Amino acid sequence: MVELVIRIKGKHPRKKEVNDMYFNRYTPATKSQNLETARAQLVYNAVSRFCGKAEPRAKDYYNYIVCSKVKGGASTLALAEIYERRLGNPVHAEELRAEVNEAVAALDVLPWAEIMELVRNQGQPLRGQHVVYFSIISGGVKPGETKDIIQRYSTINRATPVQKMWYMEVANKAQAQAAEHALHNIFDHARCMNRCQNKKDYYECDEEQAQKFITANAHKIHQAIMEAIEGLE
């Protein structure tokens, strides 16, 4: 089997914000994103079957491209020929990589780094999963708990555009309610937030100030939620 070890430049993963270290970020997927993710998963599964590994790596992917002639045609054959030609003629890694990258670019295949990012990020919360969440919306902050974050996001977004939403999975309704109560305790004492009189689970706040507060207090928020949940035991 030809073993091809190269790197192709792909999209760099989004740099995590401080609050992303403690909470999952919820962003609704578009139809095109769902299709792209499905394509990445199909390719990942195919490479896994090809190399016989549950967790294939980049070199397995590029071996798969060469050996299975993905996309077929001259580009794939050229890729194999480049590598075979170089086997008996040692060259600098950068020189080989440049030739290989040029051949692979013509195949119109996803870079391995992009495939891995799509596969890893498809773990959005399923309907039926209890979560506690908080979101920055136009003119304020909205915390809460739900068993269907997908529907809840849509409901909130229809009334007031959601800028960002974070969530944390919990085991049951009781934990979700305890966690929501902890969020209210934090936000009730935030100087930049004022609880709405007509909507008790909404807070009026400048969006930029809300982001700064959440970023600065992410650890405190997470700790308060965990303590509230542990207090149920």
Residue 81 makes CB contacts below 8 A (sequence gap 6+) with none
Q: Name the band, by pLDDT with cuts 50, 70 and 90, for residue 86.
A: low
Note the pLDDT tens digit of each residue in 18-28: 566 789 988 88
Torsions phi, psi for 133 (to 5 deg): -140, 165
Q: Above 60 in pLDDT, residue 6?
A: no
- The whole-number pLDDT of residue 106 equals 63
Q: Which of 7-11, 67-71, 129-133, 169-173 has the lowest mean pLDDT?
A: 7-11
Mean pLDDT in residue range 44-70 = 81
Name the nearest CA neighbour of 61 among 118, 117, 7: 7
Name the nearest CA neighbour of 3 among 62, 43, 88: 62
Give percent of the chain above pLDDT 70.
Answer: 71
More confident residue, 90 or 205: 205
Strand order in the sheet with 24-25: 24-25, 162-169, 131-137, 140-146, 203-204, 194-195
More confident residue, 164 or 78: 164
* DSSP line for 86-109: HHTS---HHHHHHHHHHHHHTT--
Q: How far apart are the first and last CA of the chain?
A: 56
Note the pLDDT tens digit of each residue in 127-186: 678 999 999 999 999 999 999 888 899 999 998 999 999 999 999 999 999 999 999 999
Q: pTM for the whole thing?
A: 0.58
